[in-house]
Amino acid sequence: MKQVIIATKNKGKAKDFEAIFNPYGFEVLTLHDVAEDMEVEETGTTFEENAILKAEALAERLQTFVIADDSGLEIDALNGAPGVYSARYAGLGKSDEANMEKVLTELAHVDDNKRMARFCCAIALAGPGMETKTVFGTCEGLIAHDRKGTNGFGYDPIFFVPELGKMMAELQPIEKAAISHRGNAIKKISEELPNLLR
């Protein structure tokens, strides 16, 4: 099977990518498989910048084609926060649980019609002899008042997907792949994937 290497240590993200890439005939490998010790500091101020940092560092090290994903949640009532800081919103080393708790607390007094949010995902593709390429995808939704669902990762249990009438964490991996920010970003390069991932 062909392989796609993702510069991530997030196992939930890796599962999302399996649902996206398996239909294209790609097996997904992550940093846990190819470079367990690799740490890339996310010093960028945009999703694109951080995705490029992660992709280029790994492509340089392995001298092969890789993908990186930098993603997060933008909440309108919080002026776009947590945004690029989504993974460390409750502090460095804090959990998905702590991050969700912080969001729910901050939105406790925000009305239902003002709870709009979107997941954003920048994908960077880097490799030897190519200019790094980025694509961007989003997924619109609403922040719920409580957690629901056990699938997915990160903020999925508090993100309601209006078009499906379900929480993101209630979707099967394939259903999430069809509508997610990550799936939408990858769709933009789907035709080129067989060439890009040599």
Binding site for ligand Y43 (CB under 6 A): 8-10, 13, 16, 42, 69-73, 86-87, 99, 119, 152-156, 168, 180, 182
User: Would residue 70 show up in a list of annotated catalytic residues for this protein?
Assistant: yes
3-state secondary structure of 119: strand
User: How is residue 192 written in tokens?
Assistant: 């080129």
Query: Which of Mg ion, ligand Y43, none has residue 115 at its interface (CB below 5 to 8 Å by kind)?
Result: none
Q: Which amino acid is residue 115, in one-letter code?
A: R
- Sole residue written with tokens 């249990």: 157
Query: Which of Mg ion, ligand Y43, none has residue 127 at its interface (CB below 5 to 8 Å by kind)?
Result: none
From the CB of 160, what's the least distance to Mg ion, in Å? Answer: 24
Distance CA 70, CA 21 (A): 17
The residue (of 48 and 70) whose beta carbon lies closer to ligand Y43 is 70
CB 47 within 8 A of CB 122: yes
Q: For residues 80-99, which are near Mg ion according to CB under 5 A?
A: 87
16, 69, 70, 96: the active-site residue? 70
Is 105 annotated in some ligand binding site? no
**SS3 breakdown of the chain: % helix, strand, coil, rounded to 5?**
40, 25, 35
The residue (of 111 and 162) whose beta carbon lies closer to ligand Y43 is 162
Distance CA 117, CA 76 (A): 6
Q: Contact residues for Mg ion (CB under 5 A)?
A: 87
Residues belonging to the binding site for Mg(2+) are: 41, 70
The catalytic residues are 70
